[in-house]
Amino acid sequence: MAQKPGTMAQMRNGTSGGDKRQYETEVIILNQCRKLNGQIFIQRDYSKGLDVQFEAEYPARLTEKVPRDVWENTIVRINRIFADAEAITPQTIFETVLGCFTCYASYAITKSTYRRKLDELQEFLNRENREIYHHVGFHIRNPMERGLRVLEISLLSRQGETPRDDVDSPGGAIRTI
């Protein structure tokens, strides 16, 4: 099983440096994580109307892993991105008018404001996941995958133990590459 941990790891990553700072990439199969741990669903908040907004309530399963203010910051940012995407601005009006006059040829060429905001959201989620949520075993998925109905947070590790390190490949959710 374990022969020479340090050298093996170094060979695989091909990096050298302080061993505290070393990272490796793990591939996680989300379906297995879902079977093991379930997911957290953040439902849509319709109280202000149909614009895409998610409930800002602090999910109970995040306790002791993610501080409340960090979560609130994340969800407020997500909601703000959607609010910006749904807003009527001179830019969206211009987009629409231009589309009308060019027989919607401009739609094929340019990205809509909404689409650009979604790209921004994806970028934001990637950053938040990388910097905060992956370290504590969560992964916020892009709500577009769920048709903007729910915001899904996958639990990468189980409460109390860390299957991320211990699951063996045959039955396990995680393989290390």
Partner 1 sequence: MALMTQRLLDEEIAIDEETERSRDTERHETHVNQCEMSSSFSATSPSTSSAYQLEEHISAPRATPELPPSDPKRRKWQSHPGRNRFGCGGRLVCSRSHGAFVVTVILMIATLTVYFVFDAPFLWGYSPAIPIVAAVLSLIVITNFFATSFTDPGILPRVDNIEIIEMDRQQANGNGINDVAHLRPRFQDVVVNGEHVKMKYCTTCRLYRPPRCSHCAICDNCVLMFDHHCPWVGNCIGLRNYTYFYRFVFCLSILVIYLFASAVTHISLLAQEMPFGDVMRKTPGSAVVIVICFFTTWSIIGLACFHTYLLCADLTTNEDLKGLYRRKHRPTPPSSTPSTSAATNSSVGHSTKNPFYAGCFKSFFGRLFKSRFPSLLDARGYLDPHPTIEIRVPKKSEKSIENH
Residue 47 within binding range of partner 1, rule CB under 8 A: yes
> Which helix (H) or strand (E) is 43 found in, with range?
strand 39-43
Residue 72 CB, nearest distance to partner 1 (Å)? 22
Residue 46 within binding range of partner 1, rule CB under 8 A: yes
C-alpha to C-alpha distance for 158 and 140, rounded to whole angstroms: 16
- For residue 54, list its beta bridge partners: 44
Residue 64 within binding range of partner 1, rule CB under 8 A: no
Residue 34 within binding range of partner 1, rule CB under 8 A: yes
DSSP category for residue 52? -
Residue 105 CB, nearest distance to partner 1 (Å)? 9
C-alpha to C-alpha distance for 40 and 52, rounded to whole angstroms: 18
Q: For partner 1, which stretch binds (CB under 8 A), given 36-44, 62-70, 75-83?
A: 36-44
Contacts (CB under 8 A) with partner 1, residues 1-30: 1-3, 5-6, 8-9, 19-20, 22-30
Query: Which C-beta is closer to partner 1: that of 79 or that of 129?
Result: 129
Contacts (CB under 8 A) with partner 1, residues 70-129: 85-86, 88, 92-93, 95-96, 100, 103-104, 107, 112-115, 118, 129
Alpha helices in 50-112 (DSSP H): 68-86, 90-101, 105-109
Among 16, 69, 109, 170, binds partner 1 (CB under 8 A): 170
Amino acid, single-letter form, for residue 95: E
CA distances from 39 to 17, 113, 151 (A): 36, 31, 10
Are 23 and 53 in contact by the 8 Å Cβ rule? The answer is: no
Residue 139 within binding range of partner 1, rule CB under 8 A: yes
